[in-house]
Amino acid sequence: MDMRTSETAAGKALWFIESHIGEELTLERVAEASGVGKYHLTRAFGAATGYPVMRYARGRRLTEAARRMAGGAGDILAVAVEAGYGSHEAFTRAFREEFGVTPEGVRELGSVAGLTVVEAQRLEEGMWEGLAAPRMVDGEARWVVGLGTGESAEIPGLWQRVGPHIGRFPGQVGREAYGVCHSEGYLAGVAVRDVSRVGGEWGRVRLVAARYAVFRHSGHVSTVRRTWFTIWNGGGLRPTGAPEFELYGADFDGSTGWGGFEIWVPVASE
């Protein structure tokens, strides 16, 4: 199924953020300009760029401010206001949190070298993945227990920690592993019958009973972002906002990353 459209929600959001970088931006405002709901935009934008929407907006705003400071800007308050901050103090606090140095420090250095800047993103044609039409499945409610993160870069390491526990967790249901995308991040784990004994570093997410659109990712696990991008930016999907998940079955080889797996997205019933 070719889910491609000439304009994507993520593309519209990128344009809007870059065009209004000095203004007060909210997730609601960016979503409205993108023509989708907040949840849909959050998933589409993350799949396209690897950044949460507002994290990207904040990083871009401060990156451009850092470049102005490195260029010798004398009026820090003017730079702060242009970056959307109402005071020198608020700007300096946000700047230090972002880069680990003050605006004055960057001005003295005269360069943004060494700073973790956020460059303007653009969507590449190569992000699109050819997907077969999803099959529709009535999925049951279940608990998934595992380890979680809010940073996409930490997901591979997360699976390294969870891997030895797959098939050995008390009360595990089935042999599959689950990569659950929810409102607070990503949880790698397994389905269980009972969560009453879950504690320590283990987290849990409840998957709802729902109608699911099930897509197949056939390539290497490292290219899954392209599949997520196509799902969320292609249109035609009516997600409910409940957690969606990657389902890793017997065909998937965790040591090589090959074998393929499924992506389950809860959608509104017709």
Closest CA to 46 of 249, 269, 208, 231: 231
Number of Cα atoms under 13 Å in the Cβ half of residue 60: 22
Give domain limits for the chain: 9-109, 135-267
Please tell me the predicted confidence (pLDDT) of residue 50: 83
Span 130-152, pLDDT tens digits: 788 899 999 999 999 999 988 87
Please tell me the predicted confidence (pLDDT) of residue 211: 95
Please tell me the predicted confidence (pLDDT) of residue 5: 38
Span 192-241, pLDDT tens digits: 998 887 778 899 999 999 999 999 999 889 888 888 888 887 767 788 88
Please tell me the predicted confidence (pLDDT) of residue 1: 34
Contact 143, 195 (CB under 8 A): yes
Q: Does residue 123 have a pLDDT over 80?
A: no
Q: Which CATH superfamily, name and number, covers 135-267?
A: Regulatory factor, effector binding domain (3.20.80.10)
Distance of CA 123 to the CA centre of its chain: 15
Please tell me the predicted confidence (pLDDT) of residue 108: 93
Please tell me the predicted confidence (pLDDT) of residue 65: 94
Query: 77 vs 47, which has greater pLDDT?
Result: 77
Question: What is the end-to-end Cα distance of the chain in Å, rounded?
Answer: 20
The share of the chain scoring above pLDDT 70, in percent, equals 94
Contact 170, 155 (CB under 8 A): no
Coil vs helix vs strand at 203: strand
Q: Does residue 3 have a pLDDT over 50?
A: no
CATH class as words, domain 9-109: mainly alpha
CA dihedral 184, 145, 151, 207 (to 10 degrees): -40
Report in angstroms the alpha-carbon separations of 11 from 17, 54, 238: 10, 15, 19
* Dist. CA 211–CA 140, nearest whole Å: 9
Span 155-187, pLDDT tens digits: 888 998 999 999 888 899 999 999 999 988 899
Q: Which two tokens stand for residue 23?
A: 């203004």
Please tell me the predicted confidence (pLDDT) of residue 148: 93
Confidence category of residue 63, pLDDT binned at 50, 70, 90: very high
Please tell me the predicted confidence (pLDDT) of residue 126: 55
Q: For residue 212, what is the enclosing H or E element?
A: strand 210-217
- What is the average pLDDT value for the chain, to the nearest integer? 88
Closest CA to 265 of 159, 169, 131: 131
Q: Which residues of 239-263 are buried (b: 16+ CB within 10 A; e: fewer)?
A: bbebbbbbbbeeebeeeeeeeebbb
The residues near 40 (Cβ < 8 Å, ≥ 6 apart) are 9, 31, 232, 237, 239
31 burial level (CB within 10 Å; 0-12, 13-18, 19+): buried
Coil vs helix vs strand at 172: strand
Please tell me the predicted confidence (pLDDT) of residue 128: 62
What mean pLDDT do residues 84-99 have? 93
* Dist. CA 254–CA 269, nearest whole Å: 34
Q: Does residue 244 have a pLDDT over 90?
A: yes
